[in-house]
Structure 1
Amino acid sequence: MKKRQRKVRLIRAAIQLVFFIVAPALFSTAFAGVKSIFQAIAAGQPVTWNSFLDVTGALLLITVLFGRHFCGYACAFGSLGDAMYELTLFIRQKVFHKKGRHGYPEKVVRCLQKVKYILLAFILLSIFTGWYANLQGMSPWDVFSMLTARKLPNASYKIGIILLVLILIGMCTQERFFCQFLCPMGAVFALMPILPSALFKRDRSKCPAKCGLCKKRCPAHLDIDGDTPLSGECICCHACEATCPRKNIQIGQEVEELKEEAAVSKTPVKREKSAAVSK
């Protein structure tokens, strides 16, 4: 199981690194597309298609068809969060000899997950009211975009720099801190309808008694039960799938299919037992 977990982590880290280097601005570009729609509406102008909306539309379509794999594998800000968390985890284990992954209790995570929707509503409301211009220099992701573009933000981005530093600290305390709690684009993705073929599912009848490893390993503390009210919070990191000791979690398979596979896999065992008894 540990080999499978390590393999998944390495593959994911490699993909994240590629996207971080090649396309670090995808997140901010996608949200710029969302903002452009509401800015046009607020100004009483027709919404015209632009390059920002190309990215926004593509990522929303990918989310509907395949789930939030962009968040789990391609978002540079999310990848930064993973790096900060894993670095903190390494220090805790090697220096302070702490075992296990650290993070917030499930109830706290559930409450904080709602903050990103409030933040999204606040940003959109500020656009409608024309107050958004007053937020110039306060955006931590604008500061991040500048840094990834090798540009130093000037003094007008002082608040944005402070917020970015605070977010980096938060990333050390909880896996996917920004993505779960503060990402306005993540709120948009979480609200999108996701096809059943892109949801993680499991056959509970195959789960060991009192296991719960998948939920413990999930950054969002999700139950792996397909389409649930919280399924939009899944960032498709595949950690649950790699953690399951019985390989009981699949993406895009119905529970009935999982049961059929389990029945087929048990059949040869029964035949072998019956043959041994007859001998």
Structure 2
Amino acid sequence: MNKKTYVLHAEDHDRNIFDSKYVYPVVSRRAGGLSLGVNLNTNNACNWQCIYCEIPNLTRGGPEPIQVELLKDELNFWIDQIINSNFLKENTPPGTTFADVALSGNGEPTAAPEFLEVLEIIIASLKEHKLIDNIPVRLITNGSFISKKKECLNIFNRHHGEVWFKIDAADEDFIKLINQVNLDPNSMINNLKTCAETCHTVIQTCLLKINHQVPTNDFLKNYSKLIKPYEQLIKKIDLYSLARPSLQNNQDITIERLSLDELNHIKNILQKQLTIKIDVFP
């Protein structure tokens, strides 16, 4: 892989800056540092098509077969670069630290048949580099395959990993609008319950102005009502808005980033209805 110098920042998560197919470094506002992403959807295919998604040429479907040995080589290369070279100093803002290894990327990672094998490779690599107790493994997921991944959830639990579980809306109409998928909220909450009963789980919620309208009180009330029965299982909720432009063709839909004041106002509304910790990431 060619040596490059590029100052990474939270508003640019370009997977093609460096010469890797599967593993890519980004600065993550929610992780709080340098996140080493593992992209299992290199064909830009996902079973959802969220209106805020930053992936170009996103298509419906699952990932192509993964070259597991190449992924393993890239992972070891990048971990070595981060901990044994000047990569952080040369390519990230001052004070940036190595925050996590994240199964994320250009689609739903748990759709990959090789998901368990890749997770085991990540755990083994962190052990080899003596990072297993310091660097968490995180899964960023829409939760749609969680019920089939109980063995993987147990691995996350054994190694203090964490699942970031997407819930952007609580009723079918808004799920259809925002995530572009027909989904019964009860199915989503059952997957959340399965996940949260097994390992540390954080709810990730992207909030937007849609056609110039901020989320309404009814929208937020339905969201709280959905989560309320399970809040003792959940580590926290992360509220965030657009950091990078959507690259989806959202016909007749205008989406805009919420300001910090708007996100904090929403947080205050939700915090009156929920006891769970809520963090805001503008």
**More helix, by proportion:** 1
Query: Could you say which structure has the greater relative contact order, defined with CA pairs below 8 angstroms and 6 or more residues apart?
Result: 1
Larger radius of gyration: 1
TM-score, reference length from structure 1? 0.28
TM-score, reference length from structure 2? 0.28
